[in-house]
Chain A
Amino acid sequence: MRSTMTAVLERNTVVREDFATEPYELPWASEARFFVQALEADGALEFRTEVSPDGLHWCPLDDEAHRIDSPGLITWPVSGFGQWLRVRCSVAPGAVAKVRIYLVGKG
């Protein structure tokens, strides 16, 4: 049977400026998926997947940006990553949101 695991990386976090989630290790997973749930949103947030060889130094996984600007849920799959994953969020000037961020691994 395959294994799956869901981590709540941010929980009702109010964001007003750019941030990155804490490093999360998924060395066992062959695929993963981020979910961003905007409980409140006034302005645009843009998310990009980042990877790292050591949990200290980070680079983008791909060129894709994932945008949310109103309450709701967005998701995107992640593959071809190494051991660590995180998501970087760019917050538009003046924007504010309350978000939950989930990372699901499967392998």
Chain B
Amino acid sequence: MNVNDTRLAKYNPLSRVLCFDTFDTTTHGWTELLGNYNGAGDLDTVDDHMRDFRPPQLSSCSFFDIGTHGTMSGDYALKLATRPHKGHTATGIRRLTMAGRGLVRIETHFAFKAEATVGREAPSSVDWDGNRHPSESQFGAFTVATDICADGGVRFHNVIRYQNTNLDGEMTQRWMYPVVPEPTPRDHVEGKFKLPYAADFTAPNPEDWRTFDEPLEMCVNEVPTKINWHYLRWDIDTRTRSNVELQLNDRVMDMRDVPVPPYAEKYDTLENLLNFYFSVRTHSGVRNFLFLDSVLISVEW
């Protein structure tokens, strides 16, 4: 077995692999999401809540206490990093199109962390007791989502979010989904909303989010500078525009009843759109990080 076989052996792809991204060689098309802008390229016309999602980085996962941690598969992980601003979101998006319809699977080995605080204490709802650590409650949420549009402009987002804490910094550890589609730049141009900087772009009203499955404890491993890689597998069906199943390590969650709200109006220029994004949002004002060791996207068409 050569090293490429080893890398693939930790995944369970469907019959056709569209992307297998490890991050020892560039960002593989995972780029920053930015809101839309006018014909003059005036970035002042980008929505305030979609203008600062931060550029992804290739990280060797190094820390103040132990130096270079490294990744699961090699030297570098894709790192999404928020600003130290409560509510700020960082994104990485990958843009594809669909050559068919059917089952789509995205898998990743990932880790999430709040930035270490050194020489000071940041507010936390968890005390240090030698096992648990305040940084545990300084991580807000990470999200995996799609942006899909086809069949005459019907557009929708499959969305899963792991909410580690609520906006008050209390541990929740819940899987969530929104019951409304994401506000778009066209909605803004049409005067339907205007959201402030650091609004939750996926669904800005906390009341539009619902939980599914049971609370799930992750392996955050005590302090902010230990990284344990988690396996995530998420299946959706683009033929039925629905969710199918989510797996996080040994927890398998049936998502067939988790709705995927489509936009009421049709969208142009997006025929066969198949985008995926990862995002990370801080609820604490401490920088939050999402590290992706590797990502595999496969389909059944």
Contact = CB atoms under 8 A, between A and B. Distances in A.
A107 B25 CA distance: 11
A27 B81 contact: no
Nearest to B65: A54
B32 A25 contact: no
B43 A28 contact: no
Contact of B52 (A11, A26, A55, A100): A11
B172 interface: no
23 contacts: A3-B25, A3-B26, A5-B26, A7-B57, A8-B32, A9-B55, A12-B43, A12-B44, A22-B81, A22-B83, A25-B57, A25-B58, A25-B79, A27-B58, A27-B59, A27-B75, A28-B75, A28-B76, A54-B64, A55-B115, A56-B115, A83-B62, A100-B43
Interface in B22-50: 25-27, 32, 34, 43-44, 46
Contacts, number: 57
A11 B51 contact: yes
A43 interface: no
Contacts of A7: 55, 57
Interface of B: 25-27, 32, 34, 43-44, 46, 51-52, 54-55, 57-60, 62-64, 75-76, 79, 81, 83, 115-116, 118
A12 B45 CA distance: 10
Contacts of A25: 57-60, 79
Contacts of B115: 55-56
Interface string A7-36: 111011000000000111111100000000
A23 B118 CA distance: 16
A105 to B, nearest CB: 9
Interface residues of A, number: 21
Contacts of B32: 8
B25 A27 contact: no
B8 to A, nearest CB: 22
Interchain residue pairs A-B with the least CB separation, the first 8: A7-B55, A54-B64, A25-B57, A12-B43, A27-B60, A25-B59, A3-B26, A28-B58
Nearest to A8: B55
A98 to B, nearest CB: 8
